[in-house]
Amino acid sequence: MGIAQLEDVRERIELSAKRFGDDGAKPAQLIVVSKTFGIEEIEPIVMAGQKHFGENRVQEAQSKWVELKARHDDIVLHLIGPLQTNKVKDAVALFDVIQTVDREKLAKALAREFANTGENLPVMVQVNIGEEPQKAGIAPNEAVTFVELCRQTYGLKVVGLMCIPPAGQPPAPYFAQLVGLGEKADVKELSMGMSSDFDTAVEMGATYVRVGSAIFGDRDYPAN
C-alpha cells in the first residue's frame, strides 16, 4: 500500500469533482490520515507531493511530525481528533489547522493560547451530524450559533465545519445537511468524507476529505 493507492485516491477525487458539476471548481483537498503509521511509511507519501496530513492525537503526532515538518517545511498538518484543553498549547505549536472545536471551553482555551503566542490558526467546528451520543461535536441545530460565538466572543478564525456521519447509514443526507449548515454559518470549508465515502463527499461539495486506510491499508491498532 502507498504511492499507487495515493494516486488512485487522487484520481477518484478528480472524477468525483467532475460529477459534482462545476468544471471550474477546485477538487477537494486530500488530507492523508497518518495516525498509527510511522515516519518510514509517511515520508514516501510526502515525497510523492502530498502536503496535507491529519492526525488524531497530539502526543502521537509529536512523535513523528516534529521531525517530518523540520525536513519538509510545506506540510499542512490538521488535527482531526478530539482535543483536550490541557493539550492546547502543544497542539497550537505543532498543527496548522484544528478541525475539532466542539465546545466553548475548548474555544476559550484556544483563544487564550492564540493571544499568548500571537498565532491565529484556522479552525473548524466539529458537528455531531448524526446526533450520536458517543460522538463529540456540536448538535446541528446549535452549529451556526456556536460558529458565531467562536468568532464574536473568542475571535477564532472559523473557516469551516467537519463531520463524521453515522456508520452503516447512507452518508449523502448527512453531507447535504453539513453543506446547508456551512452556508448558514458563512464558512467556505467542509471537511467530510473518509476512506469509505469520500467519493460521495466530494460529489456533495466537500472541500477536504480525510483518507487513511485506502492509502496505507488497514491499521494495526495496539491491543488494550
Residue given cell 509517511 in the structure block: 42
Q: How far is C-alpha 208 from the geometric centre of its chain's CA atoms? A: 7
Half-sphere exposure of 40 (CA within 13 A, CB side): 0
Measure the CA–CA gap between 23 and 222, rounded to whole angstroms. 44
The reply to whether 126 falls in a domain is yes
Segment (H or E) for 162: strand 157-163
Grid coordinates representing 12? 477518484
pTM for the whole thing? Answer: 0.94
The reply to whether 222 falls in a domain is no
Q: Which of 223, 221, 206, 216 is nearest to 30 (CA)?
A: 206
The reply to whether 98 falls in a domain is yes
Grid coordinates representing 145? 450559533
User: What are 218's strand-pairing partners?
Assistant: none
pLDDT tens digits, the chain, 224 residues: what are they? Answer: 589 999 999 999 998 888 866 555 677 999 999 999 999 999 999 999 999 999 999 999 999 999 999 999 999 999 999 999 999 999 999 999 999 999 999 999 999 999 999 999 999 999 999 999 999 999 999 999 999 999 999 999 999 999 999 999 999 999 999 999 999 999 999 999 999 999 999 999 999 999 999 999 876 655 44
Identify the pLDDT of residue 27.
79
The reply to whether 131 falls in a domain is yes
The reply to whether 220 falls in a domain is no
Query: Structural domain tally of the chain?
Result: 1
Q: Which domain holds residue 122?
A: 3-215
Instruction: Supply φ then ψ for residue 191, to 5 degrees.
Output: -100, 105
Handedness of CA 41, 13, 95, 57 (dihedral sign): negative
The reply to whether 223 falls in a domain is no
The reply to whether 94 falls in a domain is yes
The reply to whether 221 falls in a domain is no
Identify the pLDDT of residue 152.
98
CATH of the domain at 56: 3.20.20.10
SS3 13: helix
